[in-house]
A and B are shown apart, each in its own frame.
Chain A
């Protein structure tokens, strides 16, 4: 079966760095997405990785290792507004998105 695993909840301090991991097992692979979702709102796109390596975009970076079925989202210089759920999603062989359950990130002052 298809499976996406990510931690349920993480806590970090304002100004610090946090890494959210995602492991996946899917039938085929056409890229991995990270989305941010604030409570009661729809998800918003953060990043896309299809090749191995690190993609940096401002305070956020995303890493992919296809051989290990592993990705992480790295958030630097954390701000209170970064408190949200972070969803990992993999595009399978049919280009359908398989979603993880999301990681709730709590930022403390």
Chain B
């Protein structure tokens, strides 16, 4: 199956610093990538849709100036958490859709996730 990588897998930073998370589709091109956040014991929450060559689409309640998304190429999207605070500590996961084999649907391939801890 398709592979999506994410880097770093874990990051600890001080409050007020910025953190960049990379999401790459390794063996396929993705014009769209999704960024999710997951707090402990909760489901995935879609933060934004990253579009190659255009601006990202943010979900209601997600601050676009705080969570900067850049979809630089067909295989790379980055999420930068600016001026991170302890409440931003979470598990951040990216995914990229790919048409499923034998069907007319888009299967989501997920990156391994990034555990962000802001002290």
**A97/B103 contact (C-beta < 8 A), A40-B115, A41-B113 known:** no
Expressed in whole angstroms, the Cα–Cα distance for A95 and B34 within the complex equals 12
Q: Is the CB of A101 within 8 A of B105?
A: no
Closest to B1 in A: A45
Chain B residues 76 to 119 lying within 8 A of chain A, measured CB to CB, are: 91, 93, 95, 100, 103, 105-113, 115
CB proximity of B34 to chain A, nearest CB, Å: 8
Q: Is the CB of B103 within 8 A of A42?
A: no
Pick from B43, B100, B111, B113 the residue with the most CB of A within 10 Å.
B43
Expressed in whole angstroms, the Cα–Cα distance for A29 and B115 within the complex equals 32
8 Å CB contact of B43 from A44, A48, A91, A101: A101
Q: Which residues of A contact B106 (CB under 8 A)?
A: 91, 95
- B46 contacts A by Cβ under 8 Å: yes
Q: Is the CB of A100 within 8 A of B43?
A: yes
CB proximity of A99 to chain B, nearest CB, Å: 5
Q: Total interface residues on A, using CB and 8 Å?
A: 20
Q: Which residues of A contact B111 (CB under 8 A)?
A: 42
Per-residue interface assignment for chain A, residues 14 to 49, with 1 indicating a CB less than 8 Å from any chain B CB and 0 otherwise: 000000000000000011010000001111110010
- B42 contacts A by Cβ under 8 Å: yes
Pick from B91, B107, B108, B113 the residue with the most CB of A within 10 Å.
B108
Closest to B10 in A: A40
- B44 contacts A by Cβ under 8 Å: yes
Expressed in whole angstroms, the Cα–Cα distance for A100 and B105 within the complex equals 19
Q: Which residues of A contact B1 (CB under 8 A)?
A: 45
* Residues of chain B whose beta carbon lies under 8 Å from any beta carbon of chain A: 1, 34, 42-46, 91, 93, 95, 100, 103, 105-113, 115
Given contacts A43-B93, A91-B106, 9 further A-B contacts (CB under 8 A): A30-B105, A41-B112, A42-B111, A42-B113, A44-B110, A48-B107, A91-B105, A97-B34, A101-B42
Could you write out 30 A-B pairs with CB less than 8 Å apart? Answer: A30-B105, A31-B105, A40-B91, A40-B113, A41-B113, A42-B93, A42-B95, A42-B110, A42-B112, A43-B44, A43-B93, A43-B110, A45-B108, A45-B109, A48-B100, A48-B107, A50-B103, A87-B43, A87-B44, A91-B105, A91-B106, A97-B34, A97-B46, A97-B108, A99-B43, A99-B44, A99-B45, A99-B46, A101-B42, A101-B43
